[in-house]
Amino acid sequence: MREIEETLESKGIRPTAMRILIYKYMVEKEIALALTDIENAFIKSDRTTLYRTLKTFEENGIVHQIDDGTGTAKYAICEEHCNCELEQDLHLHFHCNSCDETVCLTEHKIPHINLPEGYKAKDVNLVVKGICDKCSGQ
Amino acid sequence: MREIEETLESKGIRPTAMRILIYKYMVEKEIALALTDIENAFIKSDRTTLYRTLKTFEENGIVHQIDDGTGTAKYAICEEHCNCELEQDLHLHFHCNSCDETVCLTEHKIPHINLPEGYKAKDVNLVVKGICDKCSGQ
DNA sequence: AAGTAGGTGCAACAGAAGTGCAATTATTGA
DNA sequence: TCAATAATTGCACTTCTGTTGCACCTACTT
């Protein structure tokens, strides 16, 4: 608990009760969560608060936003030394069509992409869809 | 004009005036278009018609849908022998942060991705964001 | 020409994202 | 300590995209 507070403070944001709870929840869940998911977990709180909390987390490098192609933005806790903004740190995301969960495959880096003349890459997003290990095993 | 009619018919859909116009427009534009873009180009027509036309086109392999991370779905005409549904034919998409246009880089195939044990890939989506050749040249 | 299937337009709705403002809570400094 | 100030939260509302239902029209079939 204290740990979470320190984490938040070290990233330069104030560790309010709400933020600590949301952070804790996201760490425990391990999968990428949509605003709606968090909303359902914290029905007592307002959607706007959760929304802005996620934005704050994102701006301060606590979570990164994932676009897994489902149309709704998802968020996942950044790894220890996650440099989401740097190309070499980008990992791929896997979305399971069966259980509908999205996970970060952090050990799988995105290979370097050769672009045509004149194109400059700033950001790469790679999403693989299919069946995850949990669902394929059954 | 006759050509377009034949193309549509060969894919099994009726070449109505509306469909021919939309198809022509998309071919000429060359970039991936959102429903809103097409809506603005055909203000006389209804959004629903355009929406359903795109759906029909998509179902019949005339266009493919692109998720370029902007949050709104885009559509682009399929190439001659575009097998959008097959993994080996998947090409990458480039979204320019400057002019906000998305293009298909059809000659750039997505490299094969090795997934962890138990994961089965069905679909891969790779979007590179940055500055396109037109914008970087100025 | 009548019947039927497909196409189009209008209205309306759902869900996500985002904004403005007022109320509350936390922090700071006299 | 306590007022002033800044940050956070909750509520109401708007916008945008995607989607569906229904009525009407158009085109093909027989």
| pLDDT per position as a tens digit, A75-117 | 999 877 666 665 556 788 999 999 999 999 988 888 888 899 9
What is the pLDDT, as a whole number, of residue B35? Answer: 97
What is chain B's mean pLDDT, rounded? Answer: 90
* DSSP bridge pairs for B42: none
pLDDT at A48 over 80: yes
Q: Which of B94, B111, B117 sits opposite A119 (nearest CB)?
A: B94
Do residue A15 and residue A33 come from a single domain?
yes
The CA distances from residue A88 to A76, A117, A121, A128, B116, in Å, are 18, 21, 12, 18, 20
Tally of domains in chain B: 2
Please tell me chain A's helix, strand, coil percentages from 3-state DSSP, rounded to the nearest 5. 35, 25, 40
CATH number at residue A119: 3.30.1490
Do residue B29 and residue B58 come from a single domain?
yes
Do residue B58 and residue B10 come from a single domain?
yes
Q: How far is the CA of A14 from the C1' of C29 (A)?
A: 20
CATH number at residue A60: 1.10.10.10
Do residue B57 and residue B7 come from a single domain?
yes
Average the pLDDT over B48-55 and give the result. 97
Domain residues for the domain of A13 are 2-77
Is residue B94 one of the residues assigned to a domain? yes
Do residue B73 and residue B100 come from a single domain?
no
Cα B96 off chain centre by: 15
Do residue A39 and residue A60 come from a single domain?
yes
What is the pLDDT, as a whole number, of residue A112? Answer: 84
What is the pLDDT, as a whole number, of residue B88? Answer: 55
Q: For chain A, what percent of residues have pLDDT higher than 90?
A: 61
Is residue B82 one of the residues assigned to a domain? no
Is residue A82 one of the residues assigned to a domain? no
**Nucleic strand C under 7 Å from the C-beta of B13:** yes
User: B36, B57, B77 — which closes off a domain?
Assistant: B77
What is chain A's mean pLDDT, rounded? Answer: 88
Do residue B28 and residue B49 come from a single domain?
yes
Do residue B64 and residue B122 come from a single domain?
no
Is residue B91 one of the residues assigned to a domain? yes
Q: Which of B119, B127, B132 sits opposite A94 (nearest CB)?
A: B119
The 3-state DSSP class for residue A61 equals: coil
Do residue B65 and residue B98 come from a single domain?
no
Do residue A114 and residue A71 come from a single domain?
no
Nearest to A93 by CA among A121, A63, A130, A68: A68
**Nucleic strand C under 7 Å from the C-beta of A40:** no
Q: Which of B24-28, B76-80, B95-99 has the lowest mean pLDDT?
A: B76-80
* Cβ pair A57, A70 in contact under 8 A: no
Provide the pLDDT confidence category of residue B11 given band limits of 50, 70 and 90: very high
Looking at the complex, report in whole angstroms how far the Cα of residue B102 sits from the nearest Cα belonging to chain A: 12
Provide the pLDDT confidence category of residue B72 given band limits of 50, 70 and 90: very high
What is the pLDDT, as a whole number, of residue A78? Answer: 87
Q: Which of B128, B129, B131 to substitute to test the interface with A, most A CBs within 10 Å?
A: B128
pLDDT at B48 over 90: yes
Do residue A9 and residue A41 come from a single domain?
yes
Do residue A95 and residue A54 come from a single domain?
no
d(CA A132, CA A54) in angstroms, rounded, equals 26
What is the pLDDT, as a whole number, of residue A108? Answer: 82
What is the pLDDT, as a whole number, of residue B26? Answer: 97
